[in-house]
């Protein structure tokens, strides 16, 4: 009988449940997964992508959507708004700092994890950073605006940050797969997060981070309206794949260990998006189905 999936952020709770599964001899068929990431894994307004992976809907089962066949135990360390590249001004909101990675890999080494899931990089190109980079620029095409980003070395810095994480985890357990993801192409550039009746209770916690994080900083720079802004962000996401994720996947040091789920082009309707950076619950459900299928293929055969 499958073990119901559980997601925990408290280490004591995770340890207790892990030891309980071990004592009942259920670990040999229960996936154990460590998760680190940004709001695509942690958005609290509604079911985000990781929520749907942990807790698929009953309709998924009825429709034959690939599920984690033996439940799962997820340790979740993600936080909305975190960046991948270490920030000197706000190191506590950076994922791939020495302190955070050392802490996570120490925990990683204490238990038999079957996979590591990452959601990182999107926040590194937006908000205050994008505002500073685009300040004083004008009349740029989407490609010219991307060239400005490339010239800053931001993609190189992000790839190095990812590599630091991968090197550290690979040294600890070289056979545990690490799976990241691309972002899909946003459509609602300039739109802030929508706070509906279902999430007004936590709106006060988010009122400083509901966006928009892109539109205000490219609108004065890239003429042509929404189509041009969408084209720029598409180039930015493609650049993240071509300059960060794909080179790491192809690197001999990480061959067979690091991979990513390509989510580009999945959400083609405005109705699948909440704001300019985040799908809504329906959109995240679509993406989770794609992600879950790739994850299952990375798990030990007996845990799929």
Task: Please identify which residue in the block is written with the tokens 């998924």.
Answer: 60
d(CA 123, CA 51) in angstroms, rounded, equals: 20
Output the DSSP codes for 64-103: T----TT--EEEE---TT-BSS--SS-GGGBSSSHHHHHH
Half-sphere exposure of 239 (CA within 13 A, CB side): 24
Length of the chain, please? 304
Report the candidate in 59, 95, 78, 80 with the shortest Cα–Cα distance to residue 7.
78
Give the torsion through C-alpha atoms of 1, 51, 260, 187, to 10 deg.
140
Please say whether the beta carbons of 87 and 98 come within 8 A. Answer: no
The pTM (predicted TM-score) of the whole model is 0.93
d(CA 209, CA 257) in angstroms, rounded, equals: 34
Phi, psi of 76, deg, nearest 5: -110, 120
Report the candidate in 133, 128, 166 with the shortest Cα–Cα distance to residue 251.
166
Please name the fold of domain 6-122+160-204+252-303. Rossmann fold (3.40.50)
pLDDT in single tens digits along all 304 residues of the chain: 455 567 767 899 999 999 999 999 999 999 999 999 999 999 888 899 999 999 888 787 777 777 776 689 999 999 988 999 998 888 889 999 999 999 999 999 999 999 999 999 999 999 999 999 999 999 999 999 999 999 999 999 999 999 999 999 999 999 999 999 999 999 999 988 876 655 545 544 554 567 799 999 999 999 999 999 999 999 999 999 999 999 999 999 998 899 999 999 999 999 999 999 999 999 999 999 999 999 999 999 989 8
Please say whether the beta carbons of 122 and 277 come within 8 A. Answer: yes
Per domain, the residue ranges of the chain are: 6-122+160-204+252-303
Contacts of 157 (CB under 8 A, 6+ apart): 85, 124
Please say whether the beta carbons of 283 and 167 come within 8 A. Answer: no
Contacts of 110 (CB under 8 A, 6+ apart): none
């Amino acid at each position: 009988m499958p073990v119901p999936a559980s997601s925990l952020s408290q280490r004591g709770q995770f340890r207790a449940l892990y030891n309980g599964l071990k004592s009942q001899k259920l670990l040999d068929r229960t996936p154990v997964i460590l998760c680190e990431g940004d709001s695509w894994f942690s958005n609290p307004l509604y079911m985000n992508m990781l929520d749907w992976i942990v807790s698929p809907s009953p309709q998924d089962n009825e429709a034959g959507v690939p599920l984690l066949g033996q439940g799962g135990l997820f340790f979740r360390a993600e936080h909305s708004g975190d960046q991948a590249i270490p920030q000197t001004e706000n190191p506590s909101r950076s994922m791939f700092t020495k302190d955070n990675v050392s802490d996570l890999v120490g925990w990683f080494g204490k238990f038999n994890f079957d996979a590591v899931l990452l959601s990182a990089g999107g926040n590194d190109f937006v908000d205050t950073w994008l505002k500073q980079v685009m300040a004083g620029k004008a009349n740029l095409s989407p490609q010219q605006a991307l060239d400005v980003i490339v010239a800053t070395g931001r993609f190189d810095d992000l790839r190095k940050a990812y590599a630091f994480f991968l090197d550290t985890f690979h040294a600890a357990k070289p056979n545990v797969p690490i799976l990241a993801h691309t972002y899909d192409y946003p459509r609602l550039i300039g739109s802030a997060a929508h706070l509906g009746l279902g999430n007004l209770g936590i709106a006060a916690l988010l009122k400083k981070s509901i966006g928009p994080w892109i539109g205000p900083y490219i609108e004065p720079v890239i003429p042509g309206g929404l189509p041009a802004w969408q084209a720029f962000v598409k180039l930015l996401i493609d650049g993240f794949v071509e300059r960060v994720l794909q080179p790491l996947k192809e690197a001999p040091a990480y061959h067979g260990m690091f991979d990513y789920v390509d989510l580009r082009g999945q959400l083609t309707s405005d109705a699948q998006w909440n704001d300019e950076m985040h799908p809504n619950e329906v959109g995240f459900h679509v993406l989770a189905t794609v992600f879950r299928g790739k994850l299952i293929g990375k798990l030990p055969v007996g845990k799929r």
